[in-house]
């Protein structure tokens, strides 16, 4: 079929969900949990707790979560404590999913197979059953939960001078949302209700925001890249798809991102200090640096012949100041040319690549165990290191899992992209023959792809591809759509 009938209402979402499920299977991902996992789930009736002396009681602190408005799978909380000399102690509590999902169980096998939650426009395929991820292993408001805490001392200039990792019991005092917190921090709206109702929480969040900004400035001084990419978010009205809009960054998202990056660095250092292996998250030096040089030259700027974080960041800052409205497009071009991140085994004394985009040597994933298997795996390594036990995975297993997690992350991205393409085909089907301004997002022997802004959609350029590469701007005409196949085809105008 070319596309469902416009105005067919709720079937839009159901049709997209069917495409999502089919794509999951095609990409080697499991859309449903096994019967064995269902039986295990039925036996789980309450969140785990612990009376071990090594598990600290930190419930009295003003912990809060900040996530999307509709998120229930809450992985992390944060709180700050002022220290002498303008330093601040930051605590990041991450849900102790391993306390309820045991290595080798059927639920764990499903998580190990998919390795990630898959967020499509029409349906979410959680890595863990929702009974866990949104309830028993979620850091929900006003309930006690086990967590792993990353504790860091941050100086006035944004340097992390000390860090530690340990287990604790925590209690979320406020489930907050990015948009509400960001508007309040920016002075554009009143404080969210829970911020007003919990004494001291407003001061807490402002302290965390200040520390996050110091951490960010320090990271950029080292050469981290200030990229602003946008993800298309589907908008439904009564079950009918009405738009694809760019999901914008904001100050609260930056706050959480900065604290999580610091926490992931603390995790990597903790495992190093205990002579434990780890799964590092790396982004290698870009192989297409020559094209990045050409991209900069198109704006009248020069980059050195060899990859340089600092030089690329200086170029990005200059372009953001010169043309803030087009910076997301430039960022997308640079991201495409940098390539994808991957998981790599790091062993004691080993030398693995760092993360080029973050300008970090020590970086792992540990702050989203309800949604990503590498984080759950890292928690098991951390807990073994804390208790003096040997690693729960062999080096060979970890190496295989690093490759598998990278491959499945890529598969999940393909599923999400496939559903977005069908959503775009549906929205654009009445507009065949219209022309759009576009940016080239992909150029390879497999095809040339472009993205338009309204709706925020990507499609294939089927005619007029000669001489085009990532980052080029081009005028295109929409020539064909196919909802079922996810085709959105453009020709160079």
- Per the structure, the count of domains in the chain is 1
pLDDT-derived band of residue 5, with 50, 70 and 90 as boundaries? very low
pLDDT score for 3:
46
Structure tokens at 37: 């996992």
pLDDT-derived band of residue 316, with 50, 70 and 90 as boundaries? very high
Give residue 435's region: left, alpha or beta (phi > 0; psi -120 to 50): beta
Distances (CA, A) of 488 to 306, 364, 443, 480: 37, 37, 16, 6
Strands 473-482, 487-492: parallel, antiparallel or unpaired by DSSP?
A: antiparallel
Least confidently predicted of 9-18, 109-118, 353-362: 9-18
Mapped onto helix, strand or coil, the DSSP state of residue 346 is strand
Could you give the angle at which helices 289-297 and 309-322 cross, rounded to 10 degrees? 30
Mapped onto helix, strand or coil, the DSSP state of residue 323 is coil
84 pLDDT above the threshold of 70: yes
324 by Cβ neighbours in 10 Å (0-12 / 13-18 / 19+) ranks as exposed
Mapped onto helix, strand or coil, the DSSP state of residue 305 is coil
Domain-embedded: residue 493: no
Element (H, E) at 71: none
pLDDT score for 240:
80
Place of tokens 């294939």: 460
Strand partners, 231: 247
194 pLDDT above the threshold of 80: yes
Give residue 158's region: left, alpha or beta (phi > 0; psi -120 to 50): left
Domain-embedded: residue 68: yes
Please provide the distance, in angstroms rounded to a whole number, between the alpha carbons at the two ends of the chain: 27
12 pLDDT above the threshold of 60: yes
User: E strands of 320-423, at which residues?
Assistant: 342-346
Residue 48: CB partners within 8 Å, gap ≥ 6? 96, 99, 100, 136, 146
Give residue 147's region: left, alpha or beta (phi > 0; psi -120 to 50): beta
pLDDT-derived band of residue 7, with 50, 70 and 90 as boundaries? very low
Structure tokens at 176: 């907050």
Alpha carbon 386 to its chain centroid, in Å, reads 27
* Phi, psi dihedral angles at 58 (to 5 degrees): -120, 25
Average pLDDT over every residue of 188-216: 96
pLDDT score for 11:
53
The mean pLDDT of the chain is 93
pLDDT in tens, 112-130: 999 999 999 889 999 999 9
Instruction: Look at the alpha carbons of 305, 301, 337, 363 in this order and tell me if their dihedral is positive or negative.
Output: positive
397 or 467, which is more confident? 397
HSE-CB at 314 with a 13 A cutoff on CA atoms is 9
Domain-embedded: residue 467: no
Domain of residue 42, residue span: 11-283+340-422
Residue 326: CB partners within 8 Å, gap ≥ 6? 319
Average pLDDT over every residue of 417-446: 91
Spell 75-109 as b/e; 16+ CB within 10 A means b.
Answer: bbbbbbeeeeeebbebbbbbbbbbbbbeeeebbbb
The Cα 462–Cα 489 span in angstroms is 6
Domain-embedded: residue 484: no
CA angle 465, 466, 471 (to 5 degrees): 65
* Phi, psi dihedral angles at 412 (to 5 degrees): -60, -40
Distances (CA, A) of 196 to 22, 77, 170, 205, 423: 46, 18, 21, 12, 39
Average pLDDT over every residue of 7-14: 59
Domain-embedded: residue 237: yes
pLDDT in tens, 356-408: 999 998 999 999 999 999 999 999 999 999 999 999 999 999 999 999 999 99
Place of tokens 């006690």: 144
140 pLDDT above the threshold of 90: yes
8 pLDDT above the threshold of 50: no
pLDDT score for 350:
85
CA-based nearest residue to 66, from 93, 47, 43, 99: 93
């Amino acid at each position: 079929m070319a596309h469902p009938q416009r105005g067919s209402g709720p079937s839009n979402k159901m049709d997209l969900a069917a495409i999502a499920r089919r794509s999951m299977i095609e990409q080697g991902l499991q859309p449903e949990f096994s019967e064995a996992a269902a039986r295990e789930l039925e036996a789980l009736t309450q969140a785990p707790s612990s009376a071990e002396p090594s598990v600290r009681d930190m419930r009295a602190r003003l912990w809060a979560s900040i996530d999307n408005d509709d998120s229930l799978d809450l992985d992390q909380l944060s709180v700050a404590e002022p220290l002498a000399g303008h330093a601040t102690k930051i605590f990041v509590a991450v849900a102790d999913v391993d306390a309820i999902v045991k290595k080798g169980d059927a639920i764990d096998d499903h998580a190990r197979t998919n390795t990630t939650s898959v967020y499509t426009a029409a349906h979410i395929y959680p890595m863990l059953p929702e009974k866990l991820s949104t309830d028993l292993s979620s850091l929900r408001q006003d309930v006690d939960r086990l967590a792993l805490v990353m504790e860091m001392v941050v100086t006035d200039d944004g340097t992390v001078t000390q860090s530690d990792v340990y287990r604790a019991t925590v209690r979320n005092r406020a489930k907050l949302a990015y948009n509400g917190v960001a508007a309040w921090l920016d002075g554009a709206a009143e404080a969210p209700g829970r911020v007003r109702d919990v004494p001291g929480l407003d001061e807490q969040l402002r302290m965390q925001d200040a520390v996050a900004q110091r951490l960010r400035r320090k990271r950029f001084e080292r050469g981290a890249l200030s990229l602003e990419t946008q993800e298309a978010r589907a908008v439904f009205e009564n079950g009918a798809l009405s738009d694809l809009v760019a999901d914008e960054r904001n100050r609260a998202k930056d706050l959480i991102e900065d604290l999580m990056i610091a926490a992931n660095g603390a995790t990597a250092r903790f495992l190093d200090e205990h002579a434990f292996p780890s799964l590092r998250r790396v982004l290698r030096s870009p192989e297409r640096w020559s094209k990045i040089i050409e991209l900069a030259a198109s704006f009248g700027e020069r980059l050195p012949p060899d990859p340089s974080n600092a030089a690329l960041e200086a170029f990005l800052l200059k372009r953001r100041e010169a043309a803030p409205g087009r910076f997301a497009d430039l960022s997308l071009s640079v991201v495409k040319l940098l390539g994808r991140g991957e998981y790599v085994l790091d062993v004691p004394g080993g030398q693995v690549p760092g993360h080029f985009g973050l300008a970090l040597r020590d970086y792992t994933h540990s702050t989203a165990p309800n949604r990503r298997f590498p984080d759950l795996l890292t928690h098991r390594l951390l807990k073994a290191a804390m208790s003096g036990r040997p690693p729960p995975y062999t080096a060979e297993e970890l190496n295989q899992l690093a490759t598998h997690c990278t491959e499945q992350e890529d598969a999940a991205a393909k599923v999400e992209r496939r559903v977005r393409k069908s959503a775009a085909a549906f929205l654009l089907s009445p507009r065949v023959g219209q022309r759009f301004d576009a940016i080239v997002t992909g150029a390879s022997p497999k095809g040339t792809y472009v993205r338009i802004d309204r709706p925020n959609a990507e499609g294939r350029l089927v005619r007029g591809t000669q001489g085009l590469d990532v980052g080029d701007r081009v005028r295109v005409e929409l020539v064909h759509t196919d909802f079922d196949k996810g085709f959105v085809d453009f020709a160079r105008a």
